[in-house]
Amino acid sequence: MMEHTRKRKQVYSSYSWFLLWSVVCGLWSVSSCVKVVDVKIPDSAQQVVVEGSIENNVPPVVILTKSQKFFGTVDLNNLGNYFIHGARVKVTAGDGTSTELSEFCLQGLNLPQEQQDVLLGALGFSTVDSANVPNVCVYTVPDILSYFVSGTCSFMGKERTTYNLDILSPPIYGSDSLHLTSTTYIPTAIGMDSLSIREASEKYRDSMVSVYANVSVPDTFGNFLRYKTKRNQEPFYNPLSGTVYDDKLWVGLSLGLPLERGQDPNAKFDLKTLTYFWKGDTVTVKWSNIDIKTYDFFYTLENDGGDSPFSSPVKIKTNINNGLGVWAGYATRFYTIAIPK
């Protein structure tokens, strides 16, 4: 579930702790001449949060949740309470074809535990305790099971196509029904030329390699991409430093871009292995071209400095009218490379 205010793991060096302690001591020493001002900060308005996507040859998927108070807490043991049920969700393509999405909840599908974990991973959820799997609910095409069985269904994304999202949410927080809209575009899938590997330079990384995307950038501005990586049988994970890039510096060039290994956000942070892959790995890269509004959302989301006490928060650019979140179109290609042992 996507939240308007995100919490991320922070790694502080001993110097950072020393600096923070010095600041605290300094403030303590001058507290006798500082007047304490008690300021009451009002809670931000609570809204509908949309996490929706449509991809070439993939049906649309929309997750609807309730935003939380700015200083509120999230109940990780009962995530199902944050999903919005009973909404009317419609997706219309630029050629006029449309589909009404149906709501499916994980616990109502009666899937085996292994399949539940796979579905949760595909939706961006990471489970720590399989005994407490959240009742994740999504809106998607009514014949979604046909897509999983045969790879086709009644409504799937196409390249070079605009898609309009229309949501009528039931009342939440005592308000009236809410009408939300958005538009996204699936561009042409430009893709990359190939993947290649390079040995890590440091001796203590002799079992690791870097993976490079060899790319020929078009000679016109306005190309944006997002990527994720998959290592062996793991799910696709986002790189921790960011997933989206524009073409401002590389228009018309052919170059090799180092790819950061995507990681489970709940995994232990290890600076020595950050970005690298291991010899013997099979690496798959999900390489997606996106429109500028999708780029703006993820760029501002991933570069929000609000988690640091020494930086200013960034206002996340949503493309949802009357709500928060994103409706994203992806023109995707997949690339795989087997790293020799």
Tens of pLDDT along 89-109?
999 999 999 999 999 887 766
Mean pLDDT throughout 214-228?
93
pLDDT-above-90 percentage for the chain: 51
- Does the residue 286 lie in any domain? yes
Mean pLDDT throughout 192-209?
86
Q: Please tell me the predicted confidence (pLDDT) of residue 148.
A: 80
On whether both 291 and 274 belong to a single domain, the answer is yes
Count of structural domains, the chain: 2
- At residue 193 the predicted structure's pLDDT band, cuts being 50, 70 and 90, is very high
Q: Among candidates 237, 274, 211, which has minimal Cα distance to 125?
A: 237
- Does the residue 25 lie in any domain? no
Q: Among candidates 299, 191, 317, 301, which has minimal Cα distance to 244?
A: 299
CATH number, residue 117: 2.60.40
On whether both 204 and 60 belong to a single domain, the answer is no
The contacts found for 194-199 with CB under 8 angstroms, 24 or more apart, are: 194/335, 195/283, 195/285, 195/335, 195/336, 195/337, 196/256, 196/337, 197/277, 197/337, 197/339
Residue where a domain stops, chosen among 150, 171, 186 = 186
Higher pLDDT, 206 or 278: 278
On whether both 177 and 276 belong to a single domain, the answer is no
On whether both 119 and 50 belong to a single domain, the answer is yes
Domain that holds residue 280: 188-341
On whether both 108 and 98 belong to a single domain, the answer is yes
On whether both 314 and 246 belong to a single domain, the answer is yes
Mean pLDDT throughout 105-115?
66
The contacts found for 240-244 with CB under 8 angstroms, 24 or more apart, are: 240/265, 240/274, 242/299, 242/302, 242/303, 243/298, 243/302, 244/290, 244/295, 244/298, 244/299, 244/302
Residue where a domain stops, chosen among 139, 166, 186 = 186
pTM: 0.79
- Does the residue 33 lie in any domain? no
Mean pLDDT throughout 266-282?
88
On whether both 199 and 260 belong to a single domain, the answer is yes
Angle at 300 between CA 47 and CA 210, to 5 degrees: 130
**Token match 């575009």: residue?**
185
On whether both 179 and 193 belong to a single domain, the answer is no
- Name beta bridge partners: 124: none
- At residue 134 the predicted structure's pLDDT band, cuts being 50, 70 and 90, is low
Q: Is the pLDDT of residue 113 over 60?
A: yes
Residue where a domain stops, chosen among 165, 186, 207 = 186
- Does the residue 22 lie in any domain? no
Higher pLDDT, 306 or 298: 298
Q: Is the pLDDT of residue 147 over 70?
A: yes
On whether both 173 and 211 belong to a single domain, the answer is no
